[in-house]
């Protein structure tokens, strides 16, 4: 995988962000197992709760197109196209990643630019994450 290409795609996604309230634009580039990239940006809402993060936008676009296997995501965030430090995914986005990704292999890249980035596995960002295996119980609730 070319991290630089994923970083470029994340910055291109960030340019599409709709963030009139916070002014904090986020872009994500999601890489499928087959090598396709889906972009996502944050989309704010005056009511705040309906706001959607860039990471979830990318996942929902990919899943709605039939994708189910993912290799990595790159996330960038800041003001006026300039990063404001490493932008990590929120808890809700980590939970969405857990739904669709193998936490032992899925890579999360946080970038400042093409030369400076940090890389994590989902399991390191979301230890003891809740996934479908947690719902598989023969006993049920008693």
Neighbouring residues of 40: CB distance < 8 A, sequence distance ≥ 6: 13, 27, 28, 29, 30, 53, 54, 55, 56, 57, 58, 59, 60, 61
Set 3, 9, 44, 55: catalytic member: 55
Active site residue 9: no
* Integer CA distances (angstroms), 18 to 1, 5, 9, 23, 81, in order: 29, 23, 17, 8, 13
Active site amino acids? 55
């Amino acid at each position: 995988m070319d991290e630089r290409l994923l970083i470029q795609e994340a910055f291109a996604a960030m340019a599409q962000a709709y963030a009139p309230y916070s002014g904090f634009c986020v872009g994500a580039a999601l890489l499928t197992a087959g090598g396709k990239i889906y972009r996502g940006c944050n989309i704010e809402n005056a009511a705040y709760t309906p706001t959607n993060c860039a990471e979830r936008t990318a996942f929902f676009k990919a899943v709605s197109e039939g994708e189910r296997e993912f290799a990595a995501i790159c996330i960038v965030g800041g003001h006026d196209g300039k990063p404001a430090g490493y932008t990590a995914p929120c808890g809700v986005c980590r939970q969405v990643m857990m739904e669709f990704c193998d936490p032992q292999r899925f890579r999360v890249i946080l970038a400042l630019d093409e030369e400076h980035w940090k890389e994590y596995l989902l399991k390191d960002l979301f230890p003891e994450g809740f996934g479908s295996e947690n719902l598989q119980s023969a006993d049920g609730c008693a």
